[in-house]
Structure 1
Amino acid sequence: MLAGFSWLIFRILAGPHVWDFQFFLTTRNARDASLAAGMWTVGYTLRWIIGCAFLILGIYYLGAEAGFDAEKIMPLVLKKLPIGMRGLFMAILLAALMSTLSAMINVTSSVVTNDFLKRYFGKNLKQKQLVRFGQLASIIAITLAFIFSLSFKNIVSAWETMIFVIVTMILAPATMRWHWWRFSARAFVWSMILSAVIIIGQKMFLTGWPVHYWLAFDSLLSFVICIIMGFVFSPTSMDVLVKFYSRVRPFGFWKPVRLEAERQGLIPVNDSLPRYDILNGFLTVIFQVAMALIPFFLFLRQWENMISWIAVFGVLSIILYFTWYKKLPAADEI
């Protein structure tokens, strides 16, 4: 429970991943982006209902037959379902898989063409050429992913590798970019590269430790690398940082930028919004846990626990209405 709670806090601090940004960039203004984030939080949590349902069905109907092996429960449960229901569940699972893969492949193409090729190597390329390069990047990404998947022996090993990649390569640098003014784009890139080297080295040469030890060690080491890279590379220009801070107003280590933004009159003195963001971050974690546990206890028919978490969910909904929803920017605010 504590590990899951810590993971959710870490995930919220890091903000959206690269592929998540597409969802927010389609909004019309800052208010719609904030509302989309709220809907994303709810939808992201509700997906665990189907996973919870499979787990409970597997334990209840299969028992020892499943061997409490996570890789066996889902296919065995599917075999127990009626044929029509079995097809419906397979369609749901495949739709979720396809939507996730398509989003990640699409954003891979976008990053390669817009953030690298168009910006640094092909400023004079025509739009049709950029589209072709984007298609080529998608094909290469799919091919590499397929080849890499052959190295996994089971679902657990694939999941562990994904967690290591997310935590050390993405979450640590992604957290620093929002909460430390010195952490520039170059620091972000090099932190990810060095974190990747750590993962590869650990997977190749150091396999004796339990997974949870390595996860904690790699996370801490990745943060240390981020701090070092933040001092190695120069921060982004103050003008850009002030413009960013005045629009986003993140919490964290932004004192020089905040003071300059206050001096220019772009934000109010002693702005309370970052403090509300800190509070809402912790409340949202409990809010998500409550949403996930309510159906879990419902399926287990543990009514007292379910009612307790419904009460927690209701109280937090009221609090977040005042601390988050009422603090949203106006529709015409840029």
Structure 2
Amino acid sequence: MLEWNNVLALQGDNNGHTPLHFAATTVPGNQKIRSQVLKANAEALYQPDHNGSFPVHMAASVGATSVVSEFIENTPNCAGLRDARKMTFLHVAVDNKKISTVSYACKNGTLSWIFNMQDKNGNTAVHLAAQAGSVKIFCCLFRNRQVQLNLTNKKGETPLDIAYQNIPKGLHAYMHSEARILSLLQYAGAKRGIRHQDYLEKNNIVQKNQGEIDEMGKVKDAPQSLCIGSVLIATVTFGAAFAMPGGYRADDHTNGGTPTLAGRYGFDAFTLANGLAFTCSTMATISLMSSGSPIRHPRSRIEHLRIAYYLMSVSVTSLVAAFALATYTILAPLAHKTAIGLCILSSLILLY
């Protein structure tokens, strides 16, 4: 049909999608179709749909990296095509979080001329990466020296401004991907936009005050539920210390009253894990009590709550380990496979 009428390659449906648009979004088995369409009419690669998206944009939006590579190798200029939002395929890949396509573009030295192109809002690909909050995608761009980190968009914002504004407020904000992106930009010496410098500094005071109010609300509510968990773990581990697995030797025995399994590697490991769980849960309880005390400074209360979170995670891990070790020590001599199976099941708790 294309040999009979190659204009068919440019015909679109109700959305303006041409055959090449469809062939670009599905990789397996469509390489020959794309080749035939382009051979019949190379202009199909430059035919936009009703949203202004070209086939290379469609491929980038679904992460079809091999298709993007195919288009660019055949027609290098198509890399600079822009859709209705003035976005290149790199913008689209970042916007849709398609890391393989972004990685391909950043490793291809011939594409450096599109790295700093700006869309209709003045955003470069690195602006969008900071907005998306994806560390992997951001790092692909960040590692490339051709990418400029201090360009401003139409709002006067640099990537550093966007990363700064996207930092979530809360006790563990530093653990979020947005915080890591901000740290990378600061480490590289990225600058803020001149227009937004004063605005951000003024806004920061308001956000900081509001953030402190929100954090204190969390500090007030969090200890109530966490304290129940820490006390329960302390109670269970305290009881386990006097109800050892395997029971105790009879009083008429040489070592009467001592645990029958004492001396075994599994039992010794159990006692250590149980002791660690008890210690950490008790310390977590004390920290939670301190974090809930109104006579303490707010920052001190927040710090005690953070310590309690850490101690609770250690105590839960130790409690699971103690259960697995006790089960294995008791069952291993007679039902080794069952003991191993229960240990594996217990470890799944740590993956939650």
TM-score scaled to structure 1, two decimals? 0.22
Bigger RCO (CA 8 Å, 6+ sep): 1
Larger Rg: 2
Which one has a larger percent helix, Structure 1 or Structure 2? 1
TM-score scaled to structure 2, two decimals? 0.21
